[in-house]
Amino acid sequence: MDPAAPHPTPSRPDPVEEAVRRIRAHGERVTVARTAVLRVLADAGSYLTADQTFVRVNRAAPGVHRTTIYRALDALERLGLVVQTRMGQDAAAYQLSPSLLGATEPRLHVICRTCGRVDEVAADLLADVAQRLAAENQFTLDPTAVALTGQCTHCATGNRSNSPR
Amino acid sequence: MDPAAPHPTPSRPDPVEEAVRRIRAHGERVTVARTAVLRVLADAGSYLTADQTFVRVNRAAPGVHRTTIYRALDALERLGLVVQTRMGQDAAAYQLSPSLLGATEPRLHVICRTCGRVDEVAADLLADVAQRLAAENQFTLDPTAVALTGQCTHCATGNRSNSPR
DNA sequence: CTGCTTGCAAAGTGTTTGCAGGCCC
DNA sequence: GGGCCTGCAAACACTTTGCAAGCAG
C-alpha cells in the first residue's frame, strides 16, 4: 500500500512513459487518446481487442471515438510500441511491445479451437523454429504475431459439454 | 499426358472421391456444391479463400451462391475434410485436409507482414513445438491452422519499395 | 417423402476512409 | 500557426442468419 512503490521493479519506470518518449523520438505526437491506449494496454494482463481497448479507454478518457482507437493502435504498432496478434477468427488482439516491458521474449499464447480458451506458454517455444526459418527460408519470424491454434486436453478428450466458443 | 495415369501415385485414387465417401459415411449429403468445392480445393496448388473458391466453383457449376460456399466449407471442415487457416488480417483460407492427400504432414506457410507474400516451408517445422506443447501444456497443436507471420529478407532489409500489401 | 441443403436478401461484425475541425509541438 | 490527430458518418470486406423452395437419400 506504499504509494511511492506501486511496482515491485522500481528500476523499470513506467512502460507508458518510455513509450511516450519513443513517440516523441519518432517525431509523432503524444495525445490523450494514444496515452490512454498505452495505459490501458500496460494495465491489462494479456491481449486486448480493439473494442476492449475502446471500452477501457473511455472509462478513463470519455469521448474517445472507436475509430481513434483503431488509428492509435495502428500508429503505435507502426512505431513498434504495440504488437498485433490474430487469434482464431476473432478480432485482432493487441499487447504492449515486449521491448517496453523489459522482456526479451514476447508473451506467447495458445488458443483452443473448441472452447476458445487462451493459455500462456513458454516464451522460448518458437526459438528453434525462428532459427530454422532464418536459416532455411531467409524469413524473420515474428513470434508475437503468431497465434498457435489447437485443442486443450479438456476439449481433445471428446468433452463436448464445453461452450463451443 | 497419359490419361490413365494423371497422378504419379496411382495407389491413391482421387481425394474428391475419398471425401465423398467420407461425407456419406458421416450420413451427410453429397451435393453439387460440396463436390465442386472439393474439386476446386483439390486442384488448387495452395490455400484458397472463400471468395476464390466461390469464383472457381462458379466456373464449373454456375449458379452456386456465395453463401453456399461458406456453408459447404463449414460443413466440410466439421467433417474433417477441409482445414481452415487464418493468415494475417485477411480472409480465412482453406485447403483440403492432409488426410485426403495421403500426406502425413500438412502444408505449412509463412506470410510476410510487409509485402504479404506467402511461402511454403518445411512441413515438419513445428513437430518439436507440437511435442513440447503436448508435454508441457497438455495442448494438441493444430499445425495446419497456424499462420507464421514475420518478414521476408527482402522486406526485412529495409526495402520499402514493396507494395505494402 | 422427409428434412438436409440451397438461393436469396438482409443483417452483423470488425475495420477503414473522407472530410472538417481541433490540438500538439 | 502548420499540420498531425481526432470525431463523425459512411463505406467496406468478410461472414452469418432467416426463410421458403429444392433436391438427396
Domain count for chain B, please give it.
2
State whether A4 and A47 are in the same domain: yes
A142 touches strand C (CB under 7 A): no
Same domain assignment for residues A79 and A130 = no
Confidence of residue B9 (pLDDT cuts 50, 70, 90): very low
Residue span of the structural domain in which A133 resides? 105-165
Res B160: pLDDT = 45
Q: Output the domain CATH number for residue A124.
A: 3.30.1490.190
For residues B110 and B58, membership in a common domain is answered with: no
A133 and A154 within one domain: yes
pLDDT score of B103 more than 80: no
Beta-carbon-side half-sphere exposure of residue A103 (alpha carbons within 13 Å): 13
pLDDT in tens, B15-24: 999 999 999 9
| Residues A14 and A49 occupy one common structural domain | yes
For B66-102, the pLDDT digits (tens) are 999 999 999 999 999 999 887 767 789 999 998 898 8
Q: What are phi and psi of A63, to 5 degrees?
A: 105, -15
Residues B118 and B63 in one domain: no
Question: What would the mean pLDDT of B25-34 be, rounded to a whole number?
Answer: 97
CA nearest neighbour of A133 among B129, B37, B55, B48: B129
The CA distance from B148 to the nearest CA of chain A, in Å, is 6
Nucleic strand C near CB of residue B62 (< 7 Å): no
Q: Do A112 and A31 share a structural domain? A: no
At residue A88, the pLDDT reads 64
Domain check: are B20 and B77 in the same one? Answer: yes
Domain CATH for B75: 1.10.10.10
Please check whether residues A73 and A133 belong to one and the same domain. Answer: no
C-alpha dist (Å) from residue A76 to A103, A144, B2, B145: 18, 15, 58, 28
Per-residue pLDDT band at B162 (split at 50, 70, 90):
very low
Tell me if A162 sits within 8 A of A155, measured CB to CB: yes
Q: What is the pLDDT of residue B47?
A: 85
Q: What does the pLDDT look like over A55-108, one tens digit per residue?
A: 999 999 999 999 999 999 999 999 999 998 877 667 889 999 988 988 766 778
Give me the amino acid identity at B10: P
- Please state, in angstroms and rounded to a whole number, the distance separating the CA atoms of residues A165 and A157: 17
pLDDT, residue B110, reads 84
Q: What is the pLDDT of residue A150?
A: 84
Same domain, B80 and B121: no
Query: Do A87 and A111 fall into the same domain?
Result: no
- Per-residue pLDDT band at B1 (split at 50, 70, 90): very low
Residue where one domain finishes, among candidates B42, B68, B98: B98
Nearest C-alpha of chain A: how many angstroms from B107?
15
pTM: 0.82
**For chain B, what is the total number of helices (H) and then of strands (E)?**
7, 7
Average pLDDT, chain A: 84
Supply the DSSP symbol for B138: -
Query: Mind telling me how many Å the CA of B122 is from chain A's nearest CA?
Result: 9
Does residue B164 register a pLDDT over 60?
no
Pairing of strands A82-86, A92-96: antiparallel
Cα(B61)–Cα(B84) distance, rounded to whole angstroms?
A: 23
pLDDT level of residue A120 (50, 70, 90 thresholds): confident
Q: Could you tell me the maximum CA-CA distance found in chain A, to the nearest angstrom?
A: 54
> Among B149, B151, B153, which would you mutate to test the A interface (most chain A Cβ atoms within 10 Å of its Cβ)?
B149
**A99 CB-side CA count, 13 A:** 10
Does A90 lie in the same domain as A58?
Answer: yes
Domain boundary among the residues A98, A116, A139 is at: A98
Q: Among A47, A73, A98, give the residue marking a domain's end.
A: A98
How would DSSP label each residue in chain A? --TT--SS-TTS--HHHHHHHHHHHTTPPP-HHHHHHHHHHHHSSS-EEHHHHHHHHHHHSTT--HHHHHHHHHHHHHTTSEEEEE-TTS-EEEEE-HHHHT-SS--EEEEETTT--EEEE-TTTTHHHHHHHHHHH-EEE-GGG--EEEEEHHHHTT---S---
Residues in chain A with CB shorter than 8 Å from the CB of B126 are 129
Residue of chain A nearest B132, judged by CA positions: A125
Residue A12: pLDDT band (50, 70, 90) is low
pLDDT at position B108 is: 82
pLDDT at residue B161, as a whole number: 42
Contact B145 A113 (CB under 8 A): yes
